[in-house]
Homo-oligomer: A and B are copies of this chain.
Amino acid sequence: MAKVAIMGYGTVGSGVYDIIKTNADKLSYSANGEKVELKYILDIRDFEDHPEKELFTKDFNDILNDGEVSVVAEVMGGLHPAYEFTKSLLESGKSVVTSNKELVATYGTELLEIAREKNVNYFFEASVGGGIPVIRPMHQCLTANNIEKIAGILNGTTNYILNQMIKSGKTFETALKDAQDKGFAERNPAADIEGHDACRKIAILASLASGKMIDYNDIDTEGITNITLDDVKYASAMDSAVKLIGYADFGKDGKIYSIVAPMIIKNESPLSGVDGVFNAVMVTGDCVGNVMFYGKGAGKLPTASAVVADVVDAVKHKERSKKIFWEKPDGNVMADKDSKRFAYFIRTTDSAEKVQKIFDKCEFVDNIVDNESAFVTQPMTKTEAENKLSELSDVVTNIRIMD
Contact = CB atoms under 8 A, between A and B. Distances in A.
A183 to B, nearest CB: 17
Contacts of A304: 144, 287
A274 B270 contact: yes
Interface in A291-311: 291-296, 299, 301-302, 304-306, 308-309
A306 B312 CA distance: 24
A319 to B, nearest CB: 13
B301 A287 contact: yes
- Nearest 7 pairs between A and B by C-beta? A133-B141, A291-B295, A287-B305, A144-B308, A131-B288, A133-B137, A292-B294
Contact of A305 (B136, B144, B273): B144
A125 interface: yes
Contact of A140 (B32, B144, B313): B313
B296 A295 contact: no
A38 to B, nearest CB: 14
Interface of A: 15, 19, 23, 26-27, 29-30, 32, 125, 131-133, 136-137, 140-146, 211, 268, 270, 273-275, 285-296, 299, 301-302, 304-306, 308-309, 312-313, 323
6 contacts: A15-B287, A23-B146, A144-B305, A287-B305, A290-B294, A292-B295
A312 B141 CA distance: 10
A276 to B, nearest CB: 10
Contact of A270 (B146, B268, B270, B291): B270
A330 B145 CA distance: 41
Contacts of A29: 211
A295 B289 contact: yes
A26 B29 CA distance: 33
B293 A291 contact: yes
Nearest to A143: B30
Given A23-B287, A141-B306, 7 more contacts: A19-B144, A133-B137, A144-B305, A287-B302, A288-B302, A290-B296, A293-B294
